Amino acid sequence: MFYRPEGKAVCADVIPFYENGEFKLFYLKDFRDTEHCGEGCDWNLLTTSDLVHYVDHGTVLKRGTFDEQDLYVYTGCCNRFGDDYYIYYTGHNPHKQKIGEPAQKILRAKSRDLLHWEKDPSFSLRAPAWLDMHDFRDPFIFYDDEHGRFVMLLAGRLKNDDPENCRGVTLAAYSENFFDWEVSDKPFFAPSAYYTHECPDLFRIGDWWYLLFSEFTDRFVTTYRMSKSLSGPWLTPEVNTFDGHAFYAAKSVSDGKRRILFGWNPIKDGERDLSPWQWGGSIVAHEILQNADGTLRVRCPEEVLANYGASCVPEKTFSMGSVVQSGNGFTVGNEYGRTILMFGKQPCRCKIEADFILGGETGDLGLLLGADFSKNQFYTLRLEPSFRRMSLDRWPRKDIFCHTTTDTERNVRLSAGVRHRLIVLIEGSVLEVYLDDSAAMGARMFDYRGEWGVYAMSAVVRFENITVSEAKDEE
């Protein structure tokens, strides 16, 4: 359900398109094997009608040669115009920079069937002189009904004396006919906040416009702004992200009834917990929902949740501290120490669900995953009401003085006396957590396999309706 190609390769940026009941997901395929596959990056095409079963049609937009602009076929967009399909994409070649030419230009390709593409050698769009010519990428096209023109949003960087991490802008190019483009001399969105606004995306729900982009400056996340006009102002909501650090370059598409956001959960170097994060990984899909105040949240698509077998109530295998079983759950914890309740072996591909009610808003609680107490190793899915935080921790840590693994954390709201719902999806090393159909957090668990359970630390929690179910493909 979290798609990744076979072998060493990974999925990077997803370019979603929807037609005839099917999500058509172009993705950047990074081979992770220059020795055997050569340098560069292609576009592959995935199709799925249920967000669970994917068909990979292989390479559809092939990279260029060492001397061509599109040695790396980077992010863009797919649009239908008339009877044909068009991809506007980023042609990236770092070797061009060495000879004084732009590392990035916007290029175009055409197709009749989405599978076979012909590149258009007559078209290229480069950054104007007031922008950094090497950071000019990720076109996204929409039609502006108010002004009767096509708009191409782009990621760019100002060429000025501002701090490097503050030069990122979202640009706009305009066209009357979809083919001839002129970059505006005024940025579409310029908050002076980030290095670059990667992978811009824009859509409207009701009265609100939403501008999405990914920043690798502050938190390395996909973020969004909202406005009731394309001319702004673009407001920053209190929680302006959809997931945590392990969800990036996300772009969305509507199937006519709902909007699905596709991003990638990154791998780490050598696929070990304590190694640095890498570019690309496995595809994750969230469903976007609009709150009453216009802000956005995400939940797990129903098709994904339905692709698990019958839910089983786990049996208690080990406990420590204060555990009281009654009715359909357990009251776990006390106000001064740690309580653990374990349920046995954790399946490799599974869904864990639980309701919980906090007795207060101090301490922390959550799940223990991949635990092997004989080796003193485990992951902690930690919920901290007083810090309004959800995070993934591990033991032992790389730095024993580090409180928690801060590169996989999420802002959440937890209230005493309120029933909260937790859904945890695990597929190999991929972890995706959903809380109350309002917050999502991705992470990776490479190193440990073991048992799972719940815990409370200086807190009293009522856990109810605890179930585990394995993915249907495992049956």
Lowest mean pLDDT across 295-304, 367-376, 396-405: 396-405
Residue 105, class by beta-carbon neighbours within 10 Å (0-12 exposed, 13-18 middle, 19+ buried)? buried
Residue type, 25: L
For residue 380, CA distances in Å to 3, 31, 130, 366, 391 come to 25, 32, 48, 7, 8
Q: C-alpha distances in angstroms, 94 versus 39, 66, 134, 199?
A: 11, 10, 9, 19
Q: Please report the pLDDT score of residue 109 as a whole number.
A: 98
Report pLDDT digits (tens) over 131-188: 999 999 999 999 999 999 999 999 999 999 999 999 999 999 999 999 999 999 999 9
The single-letter code of the amino acid at 207 is D
Whole-angstrom Cα Rg for the chain:
23
Look at residues 14, 17, 23, 15 and name the one whose alpha carbon lies nearest to residue 49.
23
pLDDT tens, residue by residue, 273-295: 999 999 999 999 999 999 999 99
The pLDDT of residue 108 is above 80: yes
CA dihedral over 347, 350, 355, 356, signed as positive or negative = positive
> Which are the contacts of 403, defined by CB distance < 8 A and separation ≥ 6?
none
Q: Give the integer Cα–Cα distance in Å for 214 and 131.
A: 19
HSE toward the beta carbon, residue 451, CA cutoff 13 A: 19
Supply φ then ψ for residue 11, to 5 degrees: -90, 125
Q: Whole-prediction pTM value?
A: 0.96
In this structure, the number of other CB atoms found within 10 A of the CB of residue 301 comes to 19
Stretch 9-17: mean pLDDT: 97
299 sits in the region (left: phi over 0; alpha: psi -120 to 50; else beta) called beta
pLDDT per residue over 322-345, tens digit each? 999 999 999 999 999 999 999 999
Contacts of 374 (CB under 8 A, 6+ apart): none
Per-residue pLDDT for 474 more than 50?
no
One-letter amino acid at 60 equals: V
Residue 357: other Cβ atoms inside 10 A: 17
What would the mean pLDDT of 377-404 be, rounded to a whole number?
88
Which parts of 21-110 fold into alpha helices (H)? 34-37, 94-97
Structure tokens at 309: 């077998």
Q: What is the pLDDT confidence band of residue 383, given thresholds at 50, 70 and 90? A: very high
Mean confidence (pLDDT) of the chain? 95
Average pLDDT over residues 241-257: 96
Q: How confident is the model at residue 402 (pLDDT cuts 50, 70, 90)?
A: low
pLDDT value at residue 128: 97
Task: Tell me how far apart the alpha carbons of residues 364 and 303 are, in angstroms, rounded to a whole number.
Answer: 32
pLDDT at 379: 96
* C-alpha span between 379 and 119 (Å, rounded): 48
> Would you state the pLDDT for residue 405?
61
Supply φ then ψ for residue 399, to 5 degrees. Answer: -120, 110
Judge whether 387 and 402 are in contact, CB under 8 Å: no
Dig out the tokens for 397 from the structure. 């840590």
DSSP 195: S
Q: Give the model's pLDDT for residue 406.
A: 59
Is 162 strand, coil or helix?
coil
Task: Provide the strand spans (E) within 361-429.
Answer: 364-372, 377-384, 389-395, 409-411, 419-427
pLDDT at residue 473 above 90?
no
Checking if the pLDDT of 268 tops 60, the result is yes
For residue 218, give the nearest of 248, 191, 195, 251 by alpha carbon.
195
Residue 351: which residues within 8 A CB-CB, separation 6 or more? 305, 308, 423, 424, 425, 426, 468, 469, 470, 471
Say what percent of the chain tops pLDDT 90. 93
Distance CA 455, CA 134 (A): 50
Q: What average pLDDT score do residues 249-271 get?
A: 97
